[in-house]
Every structure is written in structure tokens, then in C-alpha cells.
């Protein structure tokens, strides 16, 4: 089974690309969704995060307070960067383990290919498991507009998140294929279709 890594900048349209591949019979594992499921109590991952960052990141009902955690790890200071690195170290371990199990299930089902849809595919080292790595990119102003519509965040909050991510050259250096999503939905669909023969080769 071919394993395809799918990554890219926030707001570039990675999720839409995964949906388009699904229309061609290629399923995907959304590592963000995996991560969220791993944090549902009782959760070894959540317990480890609380041990690292204190119970201040927990809501009264024992679930993760995402805004409290984000305030710590997206802080634009050296301490904030260190916290962000530590968060990734902890969560990547759990996500990688679950992703491997899901890939094994797809292979048992006879899938010709499966996608690992991961914003931090490269940082987590998951790209080493992939036959191809597709990076979805878009101009910053387009991504900001999409994120404001999708996540209902302020411009300042979005800028903090985008500034914490690698620049375009990082994705270009690590990807084997690129999709630029600055245009229409039809143009994106055509870009995905054109990659299919190479992805499945």
C-alpha cells in the first residue's frame, strides 16, 4: 500500500485536498482528529500534558482547555517556543502510534493507497514513512481570510499561529509534490486529479 503524506500551511486547504483524494478511493487519516480523540478522558496523553503544563490547561470537567494550552504554547517568547516543542514531543508519540494502527487497518482492507493528513507531518518524522509527500500551499492573505471565516479567530490570533509555522521554503524542501491552492475549487480539483497517476505509480 502506498502511503502519502499530506501537509501544508494552515488555511491552505489541506482538508479539502484530502476530501478530493477520497473521491478517488484514497482514504485519509486526519491526525488532528486522531489527536482530539486521544485527549478524551480518560486519556494517558492528556494526563501527561497536565503533568507537563499543570492542571491550568484542564477545564472544570477534566477535558482539555484548548485556549489555555494555546496561550502557553503560541506565546512568542523563548519559553513559549520551548513549551511548543515539548507539546509536540508528547503528542506526536501518541498520534504516531495510533496512525500506524489505522494504516495497518487500511492495508488489511486492501487499499492501494492511504493518506496521512498531518499539519506537522515533517516535524513529527511521519514523512519518513511516506512514499510521497504532498504540500498544500497558498498565499498568506488568502489563508488569513479562510482562517477568519473557518475558526472565528481574531487577526492577531491567526497571525500568531501562522508566525509559529515554518515558511514556504520548508515545505518545498521536504515535499515531493506541491499543490498551490490560490484559485477556484475546480482548479484545485484538477490539481489533485493530475497527481493521481504519480501518487499510485
Structure letter (DSSP) for residue 136: E
pLDDT digits (tens, 9 = 90+) for 53-84: 999 999 999 999 999 999 999 888 999 999 99
pLDDT digits (tens, 9 = 90+) for 13-45: 999 999 999 999 999 999 999 999 999 999 999
Q: Note the pLDDT of residue 51.
A: 96
Q: Note the pLDDT of residue 201.
A: 83
What average pLDDT does the structure give for the chain? 94
Give yes or no for residue 151 having a pLDDT over 90.
Answer: no
Give yes or no for residue 153 having a pLDDT over 90.
Answer: no
**DSSP assignment of 40-94:** SSS-HHHHHHHHHH-GGGB-TTSSB-HHHHHHHHS-SSHHHHHHHHHHHHHHHHH
Architecture of the domain spanning 2-200: 3-Layer(aba) Sandwich (3.40)
pLDDT digits (tens, 9 = 90+) for 76-107: 899 999 999 999 999 999 999 999 999 999 99
Q: Do residues 175 and 19 make contact, with C-beta atoms less than 8 angstroms apart?
A: no
Q: Which three cell numbers stand for residue 71?
A: 496561550
Cα torsion angle, 16, 22, 23, 24, sign? positive
Q: Note the pLDDT of residue 75.
A: 86
pLDDT digits (tens, 9 = 90+) for 158-194: 998 898 889 999 999 999 999 999 999 999 999 999 9
Amino acid at each position: 500500500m502506498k502511503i502519502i503524506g499530506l501537509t501544508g500551511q494552515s488555511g491552505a486547504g489541506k482538508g479539502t485536498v484530502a476530501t478530493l483524494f477520497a473521491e478517488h478511493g484514497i482514504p485519509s487519516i486526519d491526525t488532528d482528529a486522531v489527536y482530539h480523540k486521544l485527549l478524551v478522558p480518560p486519556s494517558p496523553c492528556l494526563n501527561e500534558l497536565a503533568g507537563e503544563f499543570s492542571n491550568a490547561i484542564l477545564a472544570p470537567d477534566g477535558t482539555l482547555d484548548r485556549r489555555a494550552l494555546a496561550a502557553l504554547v503560541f506565546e512568542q517568547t523563548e519559553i513559549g517556543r520551548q513549551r511548543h516543542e515539548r507539546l509536540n514531543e508528547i503528542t506526536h508519540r501518541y498520534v504516531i502510534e495510533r496512525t500506524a494502527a489505522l494504516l495497518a487497518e487500511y492495508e488489511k482492507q486492501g487499499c492501494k493507497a492511504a493518506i496521512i493528513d498531518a499539519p506537522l507531518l515533517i516535524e513529527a518524522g511521519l514523512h519518513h514513512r511516506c512514499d510521497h509527500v504532498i504540500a498544500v500551499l497558498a498565499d498568506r492573505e488568502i489563508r488569513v481570510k479562510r482562517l477568519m471565516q473557518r475558526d472565528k479567530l481574531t487577526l492577531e490570533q491567526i497571525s500568531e499561529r501562522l508566525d509559529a509555522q515554518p515558511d514556504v521554503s520548508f515545505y518545498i524542501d521536504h515535499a515531493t509534490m506541491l499543490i498551490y491552492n490560490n484559485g477556484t475549487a475546480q482548479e484545485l480539483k484538477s490539481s489533485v486529479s493530475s497527481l493521481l497517476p504519480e501518487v499510485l505509480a
